[in-house]
Amino acid sequence: PSVLDSFALLSGQLNTLNKVLKHEKTPLLRNQVIIPLVLSPDRDEEIMRQTEGRVPVFSHEVVPDHLRTKPDPEVEEQEKQLITDAARISPDVAQKQIQSLNKMCSNLLEKISKEERESESGGLRQNKQTFNPADTNALVAAVAFGKGLSNRRPPGSGGSVQSGQPGAGGIIAGASGMQQVAMSGAPAQQQPMLAGVQMAQGGQPGK
Q: Is the pLDDT of residue 8 over 90?
A: yes
Contact 197, 174 (CB under 8 A): yes
User: What is the C-alpha R_g of the chain?
Assistant: 46
Contact 160, 190 (CB under 8 A): yes
Contact 189, 160 (CB under 8 A): yes
Q: What local confidence, expressed as pLDDT, does residue 98 receive?
A: 93
Q: What local confidence, expressed as pLDDT, does residue 16 receive?
A: 93
- Please report, for residues 12, 179, 206, the alpha-carbon distance to residue 125 in angstroms, rounded to integers and kept in the order given: 74, 45, 51
Least confidently predicted of 41-45, 110-114, 188-192: 188-192
Q: What local confidence, expressed as pLDDT, does residue 153 receive?
A: 65
Instruction: Indicate the DSSP class of residue 58.
Output: B
pLDDT digits 0-9 by tens, 159-175: 444 444 444 444 444 44
Biggest distance spanned by C-alpha atoms of the chain: 126
60: helix, coil or strand? Answer: coil
Q: What local confidence, expressed as pLDDT, does residue 44 receive?
A: 87
Among 195, 203, 204, CA closest to 150: 195
pLDDT digits 0-9 by tens, 71-120: 888 999 999 999 998 888 888 999 999 999 999 999 999 999 999 988 88
**Residue 58, class by beta-carbon neighbours within 10 Å (0-12 exposed, 13-18 middle, 19+ buried)?**
buried
- Residue 29 CA to residue 99 CA, distance in Å, equals 43
Q: What local confidence, expressed as pLDDT, does residue 32 receive?
A: 78
Q: What local confidence, expressed as pLDDT, does residue 154 receive?
A: 61
Q: What local confidence, expressed as pLDDT, does residue 104 receive?
A: 96
Contact 196, 144 (CB under 8 A): no
Percent of the chain with pLDDT over 70: 70
| Mean pLDDT value of segment 30-53 | 84
Q: What is the mean pLDDT of the chain?
A: 76
Question: Where is pLDDT greater, at 62 or 200?
Answer: 62
Question: Where is pLDDT greater, at 111 or 132?
Answer: 111
